[in-house]
A = this chain, B = another copy of it.
Amino acid sequence: MSQKMLILVDGKLDIFTAKTAVSLIRYRPGEVVAVLDRAHAGQDLEAIVGIGHGIPIVASVEESLAHNPDTFVIGVAPPGGQLPDAWAKYIRHAIEAKMNIVSGLHTYLSDRPEFAELAALHGVQVQDIRKTTEDFGVGMARAASTAARRILTVGTDCNLGKKLTALEITGSLRSQDKDAVFLPTGQTGIMIAGWGIAIDSILSDYVSGASEKMVLDHADAEFLVAEGQGALMNPSYSGVTLGLMHGVLPHDMILCHAPQRTTIRHLSIPMPPLAEHIQLHEAVMKPLFPSKVVGIALNCFGMAEDEIQRAVEAAESETGLPATDCVRFGAAKLVQALLDRIQDPIES
């Protein structure tokens, strides 16, 4: 169902912090009618984040109404974790303007009577993407038995393109008439695909079980392309990452990397070389399933063309694996590597 989305950014408008907004603009084309960001109101969105030509940046819910939004999406985490008063006001205004509210926050808006009651009054929905009450149980390494070829995007860090890479690989496989299913594991992936499980928001014991369930529910697809979460070397999210890996039990992993990131996000820990990341990802899978990293997806946002070319070449020569920037060059090179490994598994 097509929507007309107003997306709250209100903070740091870059592709990393505003990744939900940028992803929805990229993968729900034509459905984002405006972006709400006081700091950048009136500026050119495309000039700032590289996409979103013609989508206005507005300073208030009122200002957005000229574009007829029917859905108000909160896709950024508030500074400090608490819902700022300004945001609560936006939400109330959006409800009063008959918009449905879609939130990816850990704090559930639908649990707050002020919003729930106002939404009921105006006949709209408050949907918390991360909210689930399902008991998934623990994973039991059952994914290993699926007919589907299982692919998982992983990362040298969080927030550098695992979702985008999975979506691009899925699209590229489909363009070759393959039956490929994208498995959404996070809030934005769910907003894009319209289904999924936010595995960072369920009981910690159930991460591998929930991941396994998504695989088993689509066991007969030709390809399953699971959206990675977090990063094995980022202590903020590594537990979720490993649970996902051990739930999906991928045949193949694509390692996502941002060449310009020299330390782990939000920390002063130096970024280890790609070879160490590859080795560690394969090592934690080895006891359970012989999974291999078969390609490198680079996030080259903000880099010049010649820098990107050099980064791709450097990654290929460092790892001996095909590398690309999916935003610039598409995912065809990675898909070729994935198909080659099926043809010639001994090579890997």
Q: Which residues of A contact B (CB under 8 A)?
A: 81, 106-107, 135, 137-141, 199-209, 232-233, 235-244, 246-247, 249, 264, 266-267, 269, 272, 276, 279-280, 283-284, 287-288
Contact = CB atoms under 8 A, between A and B. Distances in A.
Nearest to A209: B236
Given A141-B235, A233-B287, A204 B243 contact: yes
Contact of A288 (B106, B199, B207, B235): B235
A202 to B, nearest CB: 6
Given A203-B106, A287-B276, A208 B238 contact: yes
11 contacts: A138-B237, A140-B235, A201-B203, A203-B203, A204-B204, A208-B237, A238-B242, A239-B244, A240-B243, A242-B242, A269-B288
Nearest to A266: B140
B106 A236 contact: no
Contacts of A207: 204, 239
Given A137-B81, A139-B236, A201-B203, A287 B269 contact: yes
Residue among A200, A242, A280 having the largest count of chain B Cβ atoms under 10 Å: A242
Contacts of A240: 204-205, 239, 243
Given A199-B204, A240-B243, 11 more contacts: A81-B135, A106-B135, A138-B237, A201-B203, A204-B204, A204-B207, A204-B239, A204-B243, A205-B240, A238-B242, A264-B287
Nearest to A82: B135
Contact of A138 (B107, B236, B242): B236
A238 to B, nearest CB: 5
